[in-house]
Amino acid sequence: MTTSASQWEARPLGLAARMAQLGTETAFDVLAKVHALRAEGRDIISFGLGEPDFETPDHIKAACKQALDENYTHYGPSQGLPELREAIAEYFTATRNIAVSAENVVVAPGAKPMLFSAMMALVNPGDEVIYPSPGYPIYESVADWIGAKPVPARLTEETEWSYNVDELAALVTPRTRAIVLNSPQNPTGGMLLASDMAAIAKIAMDHDLWVITDEVYSQIVFNYPFASILSVPGMEARTVAIDGFSKTYAMTGWRIGYAVCRADLAKQLSRIETNLHSCTAMMIQRAALAALRSSQEPSREMAAAFRRRATLITDLLNEIPGVRCVKPRGAFYVFPNVTGVCRSMGFASANELCDYLLNEAGVAVLPRTCFGRRLEDEEYIRLSYATSDENIVEGLRRFRKAVERR
Ligand code: PLP
């Protein structure tokens, strides 16, 4: 028996009012366009995707297969497998210079759900949450959705995309509850240094704020050492550090991440896990355990490739008339200023430039508007260089030709 679409939709949907408050990651809309154009046979070079172009290392896949054979196929503890939490605790102790134990760790299907749970657990309706803009759009949309007021803090090209600490301090009000940090940063490739962390920690302590720090790119750094605010003495009582396996181990589709925080909060986050996912898939947790416990060489090689490509793409972008690009400090994104190109090509915004590049040059990039509320007049786009050197060279050749042609 067949059912027509009209029967499915025969009555008004009647969504809950809160759905009107929920934002999204509009980058996925551009990716849908890329897929549609490719399905029509168009040759598109995409700088849109925020995931490593490398495959998950074989030993991690092997650990997952072995876990299946060993019947890691049942429900498990909501907080995560003890042996994985132990390994994460050791990793954090080594990389954040602070003693962490398994009771401080909560595992979830990705870093993204943890961002959500941390805000759900800590932020009340009406509270203010300061977040980076441009920034990963989920901070703003989740804060909005839980009835908080998202307060964007400007990152600027002039400061190589880090927070201006005085400006950040000026945004704090009696309603501020939390500051969100993301370093290395999506979409700019910017990074906060240890001195920034010390200054931001002081603001958090002076005003009794939480810090939610998204550290998913911690292993992809180029010229400066990674710094976590968790390493600043006294911050452990007010910090939720979120990390995962997606970027470090090329495991985006496996869906596994975690939070590190004080044990009493970890219990509450795991209570949310019980309500939401019951647990993270067991065989995936065993694969993550293998990722942490075995050679880190594949991750180092990936980071080295990103570092090399960062220079390649920045140099090629800076050769295009009307484009100015700050060299990224980490992650795998560049965020060039394209105001000059937009002006010379008669585009009112970077969005028009992105449409033009996609349709006329076969190059997919994302406009500034995908990354939170805009606070500046200049026009920017994001390119992910998690793609081959050949694609970078050819994509930028097409970009340049499209600019020079018009
Ligand atoms: N945080 C940032 C800043 C990201 O860019 C992304 C993915 O693009 C995530 C979190 C999501 O990570 P996960 O795949 O672990 O959910």
Distance, CA of 100 to CA of 123 (rounded, Å): 24
Q: Which residue has the tokens 């931001």?
A: 200
Burial class (CB in 10 A: 0-12, 13-18, 19+), 158: exposed
Q: Do 339 and 199 belong to one domain?
A: no
CATH code of the domain in which 321 resides: 3.90.1150.10
Helix (H, G, I), strand (E, B) or coil at 201: helix
Q: Do 46 and 71 belong to one domain?
A: no
Helix (H, G, I), strand (E, B) or coil at 136: coil
Domain that holds residue 27: 19-55+298-405
Predicted confidence (pLDDT) per residue in 150-197, tens digit: 999 999 999 999 989 999 999 999 999 999 999 999 999 999 999 999
Show which of 293, 324, 345 is a domain's final residue.
293
In a domain, 3, yes or no: no
- Does residue 136 have its Cβ closer than 6 Å to ligand 1? yes
In a domain, 363, yes or no: yes
Give the residue, out of 247, 255, 333, 371, with the most ligand 1 atoms within 8 A of its beta carbon, to mutate for a pocket test. Answer: 247
Q: Do 260 and 339 belong to one domain?
A: no
Predicted confidence (pLDDT) per residue in 150-163, tens digit: 999 999 999 999 98
Q: Do 274 and 306 belong to one domain?
A: no
**Cα 111 to ligand 1 centre (Å):** 6
Burial class (CB in 10 A: 0-12, 13-18, 19+), 51: middle
In a domain, 195, yes or no: yes
For the chain, the average pLDDT equals 95
Q: Do 188 and 313 belong to one domain?
A: no
Q: Are 317 and 323 in contact (CB under 8 A)?
A: yes
- Does residue 176 have its Cβ closer than 6 Å to ligand 1? no
User: Pick the residue with more confidence: 238 or 53?
Assistant: 238
Q: Do 265 and 134 belong to one domain?
A: yes
pTM of the predicted protein model: 0.96
In a domain, 189, yes or no: yes
**Cα 182 to ligand 1 centre (Å):** 10
Structure tokens at 149: 């007021």
Q: How sure is the predictor about 49, in pLDDT bands with cuts at 50, 70 and 90? A: confident
Q: Do 164 and 80 belong to one domain?
A: yes
Show which of 247, 274, 293 is a domain's final residue.
293
Structure tokens at 208: 């009794």
Going by DSSP bridges, is the β-strand pair 363-364/366-367 parallel, antiparallel, or unpaired?
unpaired
In a domain, 1, yes or no: no
What phi, psi does 297 have (nearest 5°)? -60, -45
In a domain, 11, yes or no: no
**Cα 276 to ligand 1 centre (Å):** 19
In a domain, 8, yes or no: no
Predicted confidence (pLDDT) per residue in 252-294, tens digit: 999 999 999 999 999 999 999 999 999 999 999 999 999 999 9
Give the residue, out of 216, 219, 306, with the most ligand 1 atoms within 8 A of its beta carbon, to mutate for a pocket test. Answer: 216
Q: What is the count of structural domains for the chain?
A: 2
User: Pick the residue with more confidence: 63 or 405?
Assistant: 63
Distance, CA of 280 to CA of 85 (rounded, Å): 12
Q: What single letter denotes the amino acid at residue 364?
A: A
Q: Do 155 and 195 belong to one domain?
A: yes
* Closest residue CA from atom 11 of ligand 1: 112
**From the alpha carbon of 245, which atom of ligand 1 is closest?**
15
pLDDT value of residue 1: 60
Distance, CA of 211 to CA of 227 (rounded, Å): 14
CATH code of the domain in which 214 resides: 3.40.640.10
Give the residue, out of 31, 117, 136, with the most ligand 1 atoms within 8 A of its beta carbon, to mutate for a pocket test. Answer: 136
Show which of 293, 327, 346 is a domain's final residue.
293
User: Pick the residue with more confidence: 23 or 78?
Assistant: 78
In a domain, 4, yes or no: no
Q: Of how many residues is the chain composed?
A: 406
Q: Do 95 and 216 belong to one domain?
A: yes
Structure tokens at 200: 């931001």
Q: Are 193 and 224 in contact (CB under 8 A)?
A: yes
For 14-101, list the strands marked E by DSSP: 45-46
Q: Do 313 and 379 belong to one domain?
A: yes
Q: Do 80 and 224 belong to one domain?
A: yes
Look at phi and psi of residue 159 and say left if phi exceeds 0, alpha if psi is from -120 to 50, else beta: alpha
Predicted confidence (pLDDT) per residue in 299-356, tens digit: 999 999 999 999 999 999 999 999 999 999 999 999 999 999 999 999 999 999 999 9
pLDDT value of residue 74: 98
Predicted confidence (pLDDT) per residue in 79-137, tens digit: 999 999 999 999 999 999 999 999 999 999 999 999 999 999 999 999 999 999 999 99
**Cα 4 to ligand 1 centre (Å):** 37
Q: Do 113 and 132 belong to one domain?
A: yes
